[in-house]
Amino acid sequence: MIHESRFTIHVFRSAALILIAAAVLALPVRAAVTFKRGTLTIVQGKVQVTLNVELADTPESRALGLGNRKQLAENAGMLFDLESSRLWPFWMKNTLIPLSIAFISEDWTIVDILDMPVAEDPQNGPFPYYAPTKPARYALEVNQGFFRRNGIAAGAKVIFTLR
């Protein structure tokens, strides 16, 4: 009996999460989501790079991310606050810009960097998932190749300041 109750609760929770995800993905207009802004500095040895970033720290802003944008300034990016450390997967649905993503630990250290090409069909997929090899609390998306061009790799430290 207890097992059936747990199963029923699991089914209802799963259905609720699916409905919430569908509602978030159905957001029609970028104007409905606002992003906080900040400055993010990455330090690796003698290399120091500063970016202007938008902060995605709500379910709606994380779901929208950089979707439907046609360009991203060279020293700009989007920082995702994922609220807890896990192996968070990302995908490129509705994303028109090839990106690189740095996964960042709770102590603001880059733990993994991946390149994410634009999907062949950005609206309908298929969409590969991009996940770190170590748990991450934050993720930073920038133009593809940014980290390589600037000599940034796993182990770099990140400093974020909200404006």
- Entry pTM: 0.81
Task: Count H helices and E strands in the chain, helices first.
Answer: 3, 7
Count up the domains in the chain and report the number.
Answer: 1
If pLDDT is split at 50, 70 and 90, which confidence band does 16 have? Answer: very low
Average of per-residue pLDDT across 64-76: 97
Q: Amino acid identity, residue 116?
A: M
Render pLDDT for 127-146 as a digit per residue (tens, 0 to 9). 999 999 999 999 999 999 99
Domain contains 5: no
Q: By residue range, what is the domain housing residue 52? A: 31-162
Domain harbouring 98, CATH code: 2.60.120.1140
Torsion sign across C-alpha atoms 75, 157, 151, 79: negative
Are the C-beta atoms of residues 71 and 97 closer than 8 Å to each other?
Answer: yes
Tell me the C-alpha distance between 42 and 103, whole Å: 13
**Contacts of residue 156, Cβ cutoff 8 Å, sequence gap at least 6:** 42, 43, 44, 47, 102, 109, 110
Residue 151 lies in a domain: yes
